[in-house]
Structure 1
Amino acid sequence: MNWLFAHDNRFLKGEDGQVYSEVAFSYSNWQRYVAHVDQLTVIARMEPLDDLDTKFLNLSGGEHVTFEGMQNPYGIRAFTPFPRGYKTVLAAVEKADGVIARLPSEIGYMAVKAARKTNTPYCIEVVGDAYHAMATYGDWKGKLYAPFAEWKMRRSVRKSQSTLYITDKHLQERYPTIGQSVSCSNVELPKLAMDTIERRHERNKKPTEKLIIGMNGSLSSPYKGFETAFQALARIKSYLPPFEFRILGRGSKEDWRELIDQLELAEHVVFSGTLPHQAVYEWLDDIDIFLMPSKTEGQGRALIEALSRGCSCLGSNVGGIPELITKEQLHEPNDATELAKKLAKLATSQEQRQQYARLAFERAVTFQRERLQEIRHRFFQDFKSIIHNKRNEEL
């Protein structure tokens, strides 16, 4: 049995044929699908590796996984019934026994359309909000396309027979389906260390040389809210204890230098670059307050990882973030003043940080790998049964 996985992710192919990804989609990611089939074909954007250093990339290729690259699907034709690359997607769907469309993505929308045309069973993974992803992309073209992207996603999800949402309620309300659905986060945490809260309590009650505030996200992303964080810190820097603002993530730090200098934050900001996944948890153990002031989010992988290490967290009330932290920890997106007030209060209250640490750990427990793998396994077993039943009906 062969399944087709359709998404807009950009993969990089080396001269030796190895395929890599800049974010997510390591080979281990595909095991959740390969466990049910003989072959998984991934159709996505494909570009040459060129001179990028592979030690900062995820190796995506491996046994039972093949890749079919296609051109960038974005452009004026995305507004038409004949988007760029549709014939390529249609040909790939015709060779598959089942289709997994991860949305929002242009290739995913095309795969759903092709699956309906060919009567191929398909399921959908809803991992973000099409409208907000486009509306906050940064230029007028994204804002213009946002309502159309929302319409395409609503149309794709509504009639889906099998849908997996990464949120508990938010994306279900934004993009409802008439078929069967499950809630299963795309973030899988390893088994949580039971001494996490004890260690965090010891850290919170001891005076430290500096308060460490952290953020984790791509520096080139227009919707992570870095400018909101910088502006909030600038408003209250004279009221805070000595502090350091550490930023983890790939991208050019030079893009932010001018704003940092204007706000006189240069002595406080530290760019931590990128780290292997396990090292991210070690980085989080040194963070006292974690910020996620995003303009949009599907669920918030970085926030979930911070919760698992008992970090006191503040975030915007977008996407799935309100499902992760309390109302008192939320602020409106782009509202640097509100974030500044909450941050100032939290920075000077060890008791409140300890309370948030306890709540963080309790919420993170629900994202442990074994629990989510069981939910996801049942979902894809049910999808496999749908394919078998269809085959039997055709005999």
Structure 2
Amino acid sequence: MKVLFVHDGPMLCNLDKTVFYGVHYKDEIVERYSFFGDVVSFLMRYKTIPDAEGEKYTKISHPAFKPIEVPNYKSIQSRLKKGEAEKIIEKAVAEHDIILLRLPSANGVIAQRYARKYNKPVFVEVVACVFDALWNYDWRGKLMAHYKMWKYKQHIKDSKHVLYVTRDFLQSRYPTTGKSIGCSDVILKHFDDSILSKRLAKIDNQAEPLIIGTVAAIDVPYKGQADVIKALYLLKQKGKTNYIYKIVGQGKPDLLQKLIDKYKLKDQIEIIGSLPHDKVFDFLDSLSLYIQPSKQEGLPRSVIEALSRACPVLATNIAGNPELVDNEALYKAGDVKALVSMLENPENLPLSKWSANNFAKANLYTADVLNEKRLAFYREFLKDNNIIFK
């Protein structure tokens, strides 16, 4: 059996396009999809990086992995490449036995159309809200947000098997008439009760400064790191400077760095950039407080990973965040003044309570629990499509 996984990407690779690196797509994801077949082709656009930069990421080395490149046709300058992309996607769909679509995704929408043409079984994963992504991007996104949301509602409504990464949020916005399950795609590092004990001791002995961190793409405006930077500036205006903000994530730091320079906060803010996935957990352990300031999410992987390290978390009240953290740890997305109010007196934040509650919640997202749910739904998908389980 040959499996085709379709998303927009990008997939990171070296300049020769012979070595591929994982950020969202790693060996663990390939292994997950290899449940369906011996070949797992990842169809998406590529982004080449120098070998030296590749050291920041984890190489994809799973024997089932096969990359298929699709040209980027989303920008005005590259629109003419859409025809080329359609041919690549149609050929790939025709040559594979099972089609896995991660939505929202322009490539996924095209692949869904050809899957129907060639009568291929389709499994859909819904990982984010297209409306929130577009509405919080820029003015051009706002022009398309309502239409795109309506279109994706149709794509998902008619899908026969849908996996949502949230428990409630995405299901309510993009319901399906087919079978569905809510199951996060997070892959948690092993954790035990000693992590909570160490965290509580760290909180009890908390010394200034308060070390805050965020893990998210750094060149996507709706991820919201700029709001935290603005909050630190307003706190500085009040004479409060005992905060360090560390930013981890892939992408160009230009816009955030410009803001840091504007507010003269270089002594308080560090843009770390990308980290290999196994190093992210060490980063989370080093923090006093994790902040997820995004304006668009599905069920944020980085928040769940922070929970597994018993890290106190502040998050915006959007998407799947309310499913993960205490209500009193939520604030309105984009409300910088509310964030300032929460951070102004960190000694009043119930960090120990949040830490214990977060750690307990993380147990709902262990690999064993999620894999059992996911595999049961995979088997149901195969049975419904008369595919013999290997």
Length-normalised TM-score, structure 2: 0.91
Confirm whether residue 374 of structure 1 aligns to residue 375 of structure 2: no
User: Secondary structure of 1:270's partner?
Assistant: strand
Which range moves more in the overlay, 220-229 or 188-197? 188-197
1: CA distance between counterparts of 2:66 and 2:239? Answer: 55
How many pairs align? Answer: 386
User: Secondary structure of 1:290's partner?
Assistant: strand
| Alignment check: 8 A CA contact 2:310 2:359 kept | yes
Aligned to 1:205: 204
Which range moves more in the overlay, 7-16 or 169-178? 7-16
1: CA distance between counterparts of 2:49 and 2:273? Answer: 20
User: Secondary structure of 2:120's partner?
Assistant: coil
Letter in structure 2 aligned against 1:85: A
2: CA distance between counterparts of 1:241 and 1:199? Answer: 26
2: CA distance between counterparts of 1:193 and 1:342? Answer: 30
Give the unaligned 5+ runs of structure 2: none
After superposition, the Cα gap between the structure-2 partners of 1:182 and 1:382, relative to the gap in structure 1 and judged at 3 Å, is same
Letter in structure 2 aligned against 1:212: I
Aligned to 2:159: 160
Aligned to 2:226: 227
User: Secondary structure of 1:223's partner?
Assistant: helix
| Alignment check: 8 A CA contact 2:57 2:275 kept | no
Aligned to 2:361: 363
State the Cα distance separating 1:171 from its structure 2 match.
0.3
| Alignment check: 8 A CA contact 1:109 1:152 kept | no
After superposition, the Cα gap between the structure-2 partners of 1:50 and 1:236, relative to the gap in structure 1 and judged at 3 Å, is closer
User: Secondary structure of 1:133's partner?
Assistant: helix
Letter in structure 2 aligned against 1:317: N
After superposition, the Cα gap between the structure-2 partners of 1:374 and 1:344, relative to the gap in structure 1 and judged at 3 Å, is same
1: CA distance between counterparts of 2:164 and 2:201? Answer: 37
Aligned to 2:45: 45
| Alignment check: 8 A CA contact 1:240 1:348 kept | no
Deviations 1:217-254 (A, max 9, x none): 22212111112111222222446472222222234444
Aligned to 1:62: 62
| Alignment check: 8 A CA contact 1:32 1:377 kept | no
After superposition, the Cα gap between the structure-2 partners of 1:151 and 1:21, relative to the gap in structure 1 and judged at 3 Å, is farther
Aligned to 1:335: 335
Aligned to 1:34: 34
User: Secondary structure of 1:56's partner?
Assistant: coil
Aligned to 1:393: none
1: CA distance between counterparts of 2:197 and 2:278? Answer: 20
Aligned to 2:322: 322
2: CA distance between counterparts of 1:75 and 1:204? Answer: 47
After superposition, the Cα gap between the structure-2 partners of 1:174 and 1:212, relative to the gap in structure 1 and judged at 3 Å, is same
1: CA distance between counterparts of 2:45 and 2:61? Answer: 14
| Alignment check: 8 A CA contact 2:124 2:159 kept | yes
5 Å matches for 1:160-309? 160-237=159-236, 238=238, 240=240, 242-309=242-309
5 Å matches for 1:116-135? 116-135=116-135
After superposition, the Cα gap between the structure-2 partners of 1:243 and 1:15, relative to the gap in structure 1 and judged at 3 Å, is closer
Letter in structure 2 aligned against 1:194: D
2: CA distance between counterparts of 1:233 and 1:382? Answer: 50
2: CA distance between counterparts of 1:14 and 1:217? Answer: 22
Q: Please tell me the root mean square deviation across aligned C-alpha atoms, in Å.
A: 2.6
1: CA distance between counterparts of 2:240 and 2:4? Answer: 52
Aligned to 2:383: 385
User: Secondary structure of 1:167's partner?
Assistant: coil
State the Cα distance separating 1:97 from its structure 2 match.
1.6
Deviations 1:169-196 (A, max 9, x none): 0000010001111111011212322112
After superposition, the Cα gap between the structure-2 partners of 1:160 and 1:357, relative to the gap in structure 1 and judged at 3 Å, is same
Deviations 1:41-71 (A, max 9, x none): 2221135556663212332353122222121
Deviations 1:263-309 (A, max 9, x none): 34232112333322222212211211111111111111111111211
**What is the aligned-residue identity percentage?**
30
2: CA distance between counterparts of 1:284 and 1:188? Answer: 15
User: Secondary structure of 2:223's partner?
Assistant: coil
